[in-house]
């Protein structure tokens, strides 16, 4: 192994000892009782595996040394209160929620005073972990990933709060359920947790939105459970400060005939790593997964996707796009596994990237593991610069060259954002606006 990687692994191991001290320093008074045993179990699991190391194939391009060190520092140093002025400014900049449900967490804790759930339809149950009694809590935990991997285990071990969303069978919720996780810039190792259960034939739209300022540290975990014929439209929007470190795991279980429309957007973070796992465990379950990541400066954004086709006639479509400029780096790893017996599987994966500078870098890797014959699988990835023909076409119409380049970069991103528009026009407009603010300088 390269020396640099060895040094990073040494740093990670040193951080692990400090994290262990932080856990040993005593249980968090704010954490509900019913979480305690899971926290301990998860911590034991975390100690065994430790932080993921560079030598692991899944972490080949993304080092968690900085994450481990910041975790060690922040877990020891927990803020006593939220910086409400900063939080108010962050919330002010958000789009007005279209149906009125907005649940806000600051530094990982539920803030009832900043949340409004009055618009919630009957059949929608929103339960902040900090308000759940033991029976409810245990039921929530039952459906949640606890220690599936090191980061999920770390999240569970230091979990103090979270949100469980349950949509009852047959219930259709048109208005988005907007869950905001805000970091106020204080040294806090935030472990957001979202638990989503969509009942049979229910239909819901949920936005998981991360915002923050300063050198934040977020390790988010989302568990998604869609029952038979359920439909979830799920937007994950990572719009943290560009100095923050953000890692996230989403694990979705899809029952027979259910459908997940997922859109995952990374605008922010110095280092972002996002793992999405979709388990198509019922016949005809379907996942439509879109993604957009934009990285400039020397930022690093890594998307890892895994889709398991376990049953016949399941289908998945992945369409991820990256825009990488300056000396930034983007990683896309998309794994599709078609298990024995999953006949009639249809899996399509596409990753397209715009590389806008000589120093920028993209590592893209599709991985297909197919254990049955009756499948339709296609994958493609392209990484390139702006198309010279398109630039000329626009210029010939009178668009100045710099504007033409900007227009093409924005158009490339807009195509992903447009998939939100039919369901949530206000959110789509907000996303376009945020995207245009992130556009790299391509004027040269």
Q: Contacting another protein (CB under 8 A), which of 153, 177, 362, 407?
A: 407
* Binding segment toward another protein, per CB under 8 A, in 17-25, 177-185, 372-380, 384-392: 384-392
Would the CA dihedral through 175, 419, 281, 52 be positive or negative?
Answer: negative
Which residues between 409 and 438 bind another protein (CB under 8 A)?
410-415, 418
CB of 408 to another protein, least distance (A): 7
Q: Which residue in the set 104, 408, 427, 435 belongs to the binding site for another protein (CB under 8 A)?
A: 408
Told to check if 371 binds another protein by CB under 8 A, we report: no
**Which C-beta is closer to another protein: that of 387 or that of 441?**
387
Contact between residue 250 and residue 280 where contact means Cβ atoms under 8 Å apart: no
- Give the nearer residue to another protein in terms of CB position, either 72 or 417: 417
List Cβ neighbours of 24 (8 Å cut-off, separation of 6 or more).
none
Verify binding: residue 289, another protein, rule CB under 8 A. no
392 binds another protein (CB under 8 A): yes
Binding of another protein at residue 18 (CB under 8 A)?
no
Q: Which stretch binds another protein (CB under 8 A): 73-81, 232-240, 267-275, 382-390?
A: 382-390
Could you tell me the smallest distance in angstroms from the CB atom of residue 361 to another protein?
24
Among 388, 422, 437, 444, binds another protein (CB under 8 A): 388
Task: Return the closest-CA partner of residue 23 out of 46, 48, 51.
Answer: 46
The reply to whether 393 sits near another protein by the rule CB under 8 A is: yes
Query: Shortest approach of another protein to residue 413 CB, angstroms?
Result: 8
Rounded least distance, CB 404 to another protein, Å: 8
Contacts of 251 (CB under 8 A, 6+ apart): 145, 148, 152, 221, 222, 223, 224, 277, 279
Look up tokens 């991103």; give the residue: 413
Answer yes or no whether residue 96 interacts with another protein by CB under 8 A: no
401 binds another protein (CB under 8 A): yes
Report the nearest approach of another protein to the CB of residue 386 (Å): 11
Question: How would you class 167 by CB atoms within 10 Å of its CB: exposed for 0-12, middle for 13-18, buried for 19 or more?
Answer: buried
- Distance in angstroms (rounded) separating the CA atoms of residues 154 and 151: 5
What letter would DSSP give residue 129? G
Q: How far is the CB of 364 from another protein (least distance, A)?
A: 20
- Is 400 one of the binding residues for another protein (CB under 8 A)? yes
Distance CA 141, CA 201 (A): 23
Is position 389 an interface residue for another protein (rule: CB under 8 A)? Answer: yes
**Which residue's CB is nearer to another protein, number 355 or number 407?**
407
| Helix extents (H) in 225-337 | none
DSSP annotation string for 38-97: HHHHHHHHHHHH-S--TTSGGGSS---HHHHHHHHHHHHS--SS--HHHHHHHHHTSPPP
Q: What is the torsional sign of CA 289, 213, 221, 230?
A: negative
Which one of 2, 17, 135, 396 is in contact with another protein (CB under 8 A)?
Answer: 396
> What single-letter DSSP state applies at residue 25?
T
Q: Could you count the other beta carbons within 10 Å of the beta carbon of residue 26? A: 7
Residue whose structure tokens are 């399509």: 348
Q: Which two tokens stand for residue 103?
A: 């649940």
Give the number of other CB atoms < 10 A from CB of residue 196: 24
399 interacts with another protein by CB under 8 A: yes
Helices (H), 347-424: 388-396, 401-421
CB of residue 334 to another protein, shortest distance in Å? 21
Q: How far is the CB of 339 from another protein (least distance, A)?
A: 35
**Considering the complex, what minimum distance in angstroms separates the CB of residue 276 from another protein?**
24
**How many residues belong to the site for another protein (CB under 8 A)?**
25
| In the complex, minimum distance from the CB of residue 176 to another protein, in angstroms, rounded to a whole number | 24
Find all residues with CB under 8 Å of 407, minimum gap 6, and list them. Answer: 394, 399
Q: Which residues bind another protein (CB under 8 A)?
A: 387-390, 392-401, 403-404, 407-408, 410-415, 418
């Amino acid at each position: 192994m390269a020396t640099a990687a060895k040094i990073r692994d040494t740093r990670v191991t040193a951080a692990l000892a400090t994290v262990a001290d932080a856990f040993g320093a005593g249980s968090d008074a704010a954490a509900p009782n019913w979480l305690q045993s899971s926290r301990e179990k998860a911590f034991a699991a975390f100690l065994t595996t430790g932080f993921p190391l560079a030598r692991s194939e899944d972490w080949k391009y993304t080092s968690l040394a900085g994450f481990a060190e910041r975790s060690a520092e922040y877990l020891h140093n927990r803020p006593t209160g939220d910086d409400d002025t900063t939080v108010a400014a962050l919330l002010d900049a958000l789009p007005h929620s279209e149906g009125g449900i907005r649940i806000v967490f600051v530094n990982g804790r539920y803030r009832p005073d900043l949340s409004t759930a009055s618009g919630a339809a009957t059949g929608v149950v929103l339960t902040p972990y900090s308000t759940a009694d033991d029976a409810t809590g245990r039921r929530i935990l039952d459906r949640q990933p606890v220690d599936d991997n090191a980061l999920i285990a770390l999240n569970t071990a230091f979990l103090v709060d979270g949100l469980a969303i349950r949509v009852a069978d047959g219930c259709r919720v048109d208005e988005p359920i907007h869950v905001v996780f805000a970091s106020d810039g204080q040294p806090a190792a935030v472990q957001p947790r979202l638990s989503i259960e969509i009942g049979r034939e229910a239909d819901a739209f949920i936005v998981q939105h991360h915002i923050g300022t300063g050198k934040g540290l977020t390790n988010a975990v989302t568990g998604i459970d869609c029952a038979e014929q359920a439909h979830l439209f799920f937007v994950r929007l990572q719009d943290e400060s560009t100095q923050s470190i953000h890692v996230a795991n989403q694990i979705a279980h899809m029952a027979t005939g259910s459908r997940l429309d997922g859109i995952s957007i990374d605008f922010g973070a110095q280092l972002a790593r996002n793992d999405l796992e979709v388990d198509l465990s019922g016949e005809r379950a379907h996942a439509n997964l879109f993604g957009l990541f934009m990285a400039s400066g020397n930022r690093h954004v890594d998307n890892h996707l895994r889709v398991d086709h376990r049953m016949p006639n399941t289908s998945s479509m992945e369409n991820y796009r990256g825009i990488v400029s300056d000396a930034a780096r983007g990683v896309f790893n998309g794994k599709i596994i078609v298990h024995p017996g999953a006949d009639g599987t249809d899996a399509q994966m596409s990753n397209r990237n715009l590389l806008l500078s000589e120093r920028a870098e993209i590592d893209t890797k599709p991985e297909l593991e197919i254990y049955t014959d009756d499948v339709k699988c296609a994958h493609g990835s392209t990484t390139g610069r702006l198309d010279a023909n398109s630039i000329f076409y626009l210029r010939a119409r009178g668009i100045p060259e710099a504007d033409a380049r900007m227009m093409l970069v924005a158009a490339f991103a807009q195509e992903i954002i447009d998939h939100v528009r039919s369901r949530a026009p206000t959110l789509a407009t907000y996303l376009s606006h945020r995207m245009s603010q992130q556009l790299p300088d391509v004027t040269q």
